[in-house]
Chains A and B, each alone.
Chain A
Amino acid sequence: MNALLIVVLAVPAAGAAAAALLPDRVGRIAGTVAAAVALLASLPLYRDSWFSYGPAGVRPWHEVDYSWVPALNLHFHLGVDGVSYPLVVLTALLTLLCCGFTLWRAPEPGRGNTLVALLLVIEVGILGTFLALDLVLFFVFFEVVLLPMYAVIAVWGDRDRAHAARKFVLYTLFGSVLLLVGVFTVVASAGTADIVALTGGGELSRTTQLVAFTLLAIGFAVKSPLWPLHTWLPDAHTQAPTVGSVILAGVLLKMGTYGLIRVAVGVAPEGARWAAPVLGVLAVAAIIIGSLVCLAQTELKRLIAYSSVGHMGFVLLGIATLTATGIQAALIGNVAHGVITGLLFFLAGAIKERAHTGDLAQLGGLRETAPRLAGVLGFAAIASLGLPGLAGFWGEAFAVVAAIDRGGPLWTTLGVVAAVGGALTAAYFLRLLRRVTHGPAIGSLAPPTLAPVEVAAWAPLVVLALAVGLVPGLVLGMADGPVQALLEALP
Chain B
Amino acid sequence: MEDLSLPKIDYAAVAPMLILFGVACVGVLFEGVLPKAARRVTQLVLALLGLVAALSVIVWQSDTRVLTAGGAVAIDGPTLFLQGAIIVLGIMALLLIGDRAMEHGGAFVAQAAITVGSEADRKQAVKEQGATEVYPLTVFAIAGMLLFVAANDLLTMFVALEVFSLPLYLLCALARRRRLLSQEAALKYFLLGAYASAFFLFGVALVYGFAGGVEFGTIHDSVTESTQSTVLLYAGLAMIAIGLLFKAAAAPFHVWTPDVYQGAPTPITGLMAACTKVAAFGGLLRVLYVGFDGVAWDYTPILGVVAVLTMLIGAVLAVTQTDIKRLLAYSSIANAGYLLVGVLALSKDGLSSTMFYLVAYGFTVIAAFGVVTLVRDADGEATHLSRWAGLGRRSPLYAGIFTFILLAFAGIPLTSGFIAKFAVFGAALDSGEAWLVVFGVVTSMLLAFPYLRVVVMMWLSEPGESTPTVSIPGGLTAAALVIGVVATLVLGVAPAPLLDLTTSAADFVR
Contacts and interface: CB of A to CB of B under 8 A. Distances in A.
A and B interact: yes
Contacts of A154: 456, 459-460
Contact of B441 (A180, A187, A188): A180
A441 B422 CA distance: 59
B444 interface: yes
Contacts of B502: 71
A70 B500 contact: yes
Contact of B412 (A67, A69, A147): A147
B422 A177 contact: no
B283 to A, nearest CB: 24
B426 A169 contact: no
A187 B425 CA distance: 12
Given A68-B496, A139-B413, A143-B412, A181 B441 contact: yes
A173 B441 contact: no
Interface string B450-464: 001000100110000
A274 interface: no
Best-buried of A139, A169, A181, A187 by chain B (most CB within 10 Å): A181
Interface residues of B, number: 30
B460 A155 contact: yes
Interface string A198-235: 00000000000000000000000000000000000000
B499 interface: yes
Contacts, number: 65
Contacts of B499: 69-72
The A interface, classified by DSSP as helix, strand, loop or mixed, is helix
Interface in B420-461: 422-423, 425-426, 429-430, 437-438, 441-442, 444-445, 448, 452, 456, 459-460
B312 interface: no
Given A69-B495, A72-B419, A154-B456, A144 B414 contact: yes
B425 A184 contact: yes
A139 B418 CA distance: 11
Nearest to A169: B452
Contacts of A169: 452
Contacts of A166: 456
B477 interface: no
Contacts of A426: none
Contact of A188 (B430, B444, B456, B503): B430
A140 interface: yes
Contacts of A140: 413-414, 418
A69 B502 CA distance: 13
B408 to A, nearest CB: 13
Interface in A59-115: 67-72
A140 B411 CA distance: 11
Contacts of A69: 419, 495-496, 499
A430 interface: no
B43 interface: no
A165 to B, nearest CB: 8
Given A144-B413, A184-B426, A71 B441 contact: no
A489 interface: no
Interface in A36-70: 67-70
A14 interface: no
Contacts of B444: 177
A329 interface: no
A136 interface: yes
Contacts of B442: 177
Nearest to A68: B496
A162 interface: yes
A177 to B, nearest CB: 4
Q: Is the interface of B mostly helix, strand, loop or mixed?
A: helix
A480 B258 CA distance: 60
Contacts of A184: 425-426, 429, 437, 441
B235 to A, nearest CB: 36
A187 B414 CA distance: 19
Contact of B445 (A72, A173, A188): A173
A12 to B, nearest CB: 15
B383 interface: no
Contact of A71 (B352, B413, B456): B352
A445 B445 CA distance: 46
B407 interface: yes
B419 to A, nearest CB: 7
B448 A173 contact: yes
Given A139-B413, A143-B412, A154-B456, A71 B496 contact: yes
Contacts of B413: 139-140, 143-144
B357 to A, nearest CB: 12
Contacts of B452: 169
A373 B211 CA distance: 87
Interface in B362-399: none
A149 B502 CA distance: 36
Interface string B494-508: 011001101100000
A187 B496 contact: no
A180 B352 CA distance: 22
Interface string A129-148: 00000001001100110010
A187 B423 CA distance: 12
Contact of A174 (B419, B445, B503): B445
A151 B422 CA distance: 26
A187 B430 CA distance: 10
A21 to B, nearest CB: 12
Nearest to A70: B496
A356 to B, nearest CB: 24
B178 to A, nearest CB: 33
Contacts of A180: 441
Interface string A153-171: 0110000001000100100
Interface centre among B352, B438, B495 (most CB of A within 10 A): B495
Given A70-B496, A71-B499, A136 B422 contact: yes
Contacts of A143: 412-413
Nearest to B356: A71
Nearest to A162: B460
Interface centre among B412, B422, B448 (most CB of A within 10 A): B422
B500 A177 contact: no
A390 B495 CA distance: 49
A154 B430 CA distance: 40
Contacts of B438: 181
10 contacts: A71-B352, A71-B502, A71-B503, A140-B414, A154-B459, A155-B460, A162-B460, A174-B445, A181-B441, A187-B426
Interface of A: 67-72, 136, 139-140, 143-144, 147, 151, 154-155, 162, 166, 169, 173-174, 176-177, 180-181, 184, 187-188
Q: Which 7 A-B pairs have the closest CB atoms?
A: A71-B499, A140-B413, A188-B429, A177-B445, A143-B413, A69-B496, A181-B441
Given A70-B499, A177-B444, A184-B429, 8 more contacts: A69-B496, A69-B499, A70-B500, A144-B413, A147-B407, A169-B452, A181-B437, A188-B430
